[in-house]
Amino acid sequence: MRTLNIRPLLAAASILALTACGLEGTDSQEQETAQSSSDTSNDYGYQTYSDDNLADSMASNDDAADNAATRSGEGVSGDASNMGADNAIPDSEERPTMQLQVVLDRQGFGPGVVDGKMGMSTRHALSGFQEANDLEVTGEHDEATKEALAQYDGIAATRVVTIPDNWGDLEFTDMPESTADKAEMERLGYTSLDEKLAERFHTTVAVLKELNPGGKPAGMENDPADGAGEDASPEGENASSGEGSADTSKSFFTAGQQIRVPNVGADRIEPGAIQDRGWQMTLASLGVGTEQPQVDRIVVSKEGQTLKAYEGETLVAIFTVSSGSSEFPLPLGEWDIVGEAYNPPYSYDPEVLGNDDPDGKTYTLPPGPNGPVGIVWIDLSKEHYGIHGTPEPETIGRAQSSGCVRLTNWDAARLAQMVDTETQVIFET
């Protein structure tokens, strides 16, 4: 994605994140200040896991799982990677590929969308894990790789969570087609609770529905007396709409509902680590923690469709990317990072983008996860080029970009914490 006039705004990046973005974060900050009796840290505008982990209340609680494993002297079993009462519900089936994706994602080797399928992004993630562990790089889940991954066998593929009650107070809005109409919006937020939930767990709405047949976590007995089951569908009694509340009639899931999700982790947010409150809320909503390595070099491969991040000579992260097109090819060479913008607005200029726009008007689009550059812009010394997120995670690696390097929002958020202006950026064939 090529954009315009981002760099001048980055001269005051800290101001940009607060003033230009307005209602920063993944949903209206004012909306997310709604509290429930289960809140553990209501100073942060959303239901957090605990005082020492400012991830949301659906956090993986990896530390508790690790402590449990240490006490027992064994690997974490079943659903122990989230120690709450929700996880007394065992999954109805084993999900080996999803479990592999969850483990790789937690280690920084991004499989893209966690969907239980052995696709291109998962093979890239396997290749990254193999390179980092001095294994033969095959991109396959071969025996040597299985042996190296055996230490993570106790991490479950899924866990059961309860959607925070205060999500019922959020408002979701359909995205208009025209750029002019988008420019009139306050922000380009999520269109439904389902979409917000899918991005939180690095997956798709379709996968969440598969994990929750009839609106219940797979493995839960269907008891009609509890009011769940089919009524959790959009046409069921849990669907509601009206002024002052979320239009959940277009959502399959609802606030307060128990659901099964991919067991993504590495989502701990250390208190005091993030000064920008809006960015902190964004990280929480994406299930991305603050404990990230600081990298010296990132290498984007045009043909390989990957971004590799190195700490010294050690590969510590790999992500599948979309980069460039025939009209706007990836600018090969070495570049500098000149700044970052969290939850940035977007300057739309059809001339810069090469669009055949009859009116030729420029627009400033508001921030939000459904904006053209997603939730973060990492600005490069090559004018109009950067590394950024996307509103369409399923297209990463499968659709061209307008010259820039595009990642899923959750991978872009993770990468943004790894790099700074000292990080070397290399674009290669």
The predicted structure's pLDDT at residue 46? 81
pLDDT of residue 40: 44
Give pLDDT, residue 283.
97
Residue 85 CB neighbour total at 10 angstroms: 10
DSSP state at residue 275: -
CA distance 121 to 124: 5
Rounded Cα distance, 136 and 130, in Å: 6
Q: How much is the pLDDT for 222?
A: 58
CA-to-CA distance for 256 and 251, rounded, in angstroms? 13
Q: Whole-angstrom Cα distance, residue 428 to residue 144? A: 29
Chain centroid offset of residue 185 CA: 23
DSSP assignment, residue 19?
I
Helices (H), 111-204: 120-132, 143-149, 179-183, 193-200
The structure's pTM equals 0.82
Query: Are the C-beta atoms of 294 and 372 separated by less than 8 Å?
Result: no
Q: What pLDDT sits at residue 329?
A: 85
Q: How would you write the pLDDT of the chain (429 residues) with one tens digit per residue? A: 434 334 334 433 333 332 222 223 333 333 333 333 334 444 556 889 988 999 999 999 775 544 443 333 333 333 344 445 576 899 999 999 999 999 999 999 999 999 999 999 999 999 999 999 999 999 999 999 999 999 999 999 999 999 999 999 999 999 999 999 999 999 999 999 999 999 999 999 999 999 999 999 999 975 444 444 444 443 333 333 333 334 445 799 999 999 999 999 999 999 999 999 999 999 999 999 999 999 999 999 999 999 999 999 999 999 999 986 667 789 999 999 999 999 999 998 876 665 656 667 899 999 999 999 999 999 999 988 999 999 999 999 875 555 689 999 999 999 999 999 999 999 999
8-26 residues labelled b (16+ CB within 10 A) or e (exposed)? ebbeebeebbbebbbbbbb
Residue position matching structure tokens 């959607």: 163
Supply the pLDDT for residue 142: 97
Report the DSSP pairing between strands 158-162 and 258-262.
antiparallel
Active site residues: 388, 404
pLDDT of residue 221: 78
According to the model, what pLDDT value does residue 63 have?
A: 58
Helices (H), 133-203: 143-149, 179-183, 193-200
CA distance 92 to 245: 34
- pLDDT value of residue 245: 38
Predicted pLDDT of residue 92: 96
Report the sign of the C-alpha dihedral through residues 63, 114, 329, 368, in that order: negative
Give the Cα separation of 412 and 377 in Å (integer): 8
pLDDT value, residue 103: 98
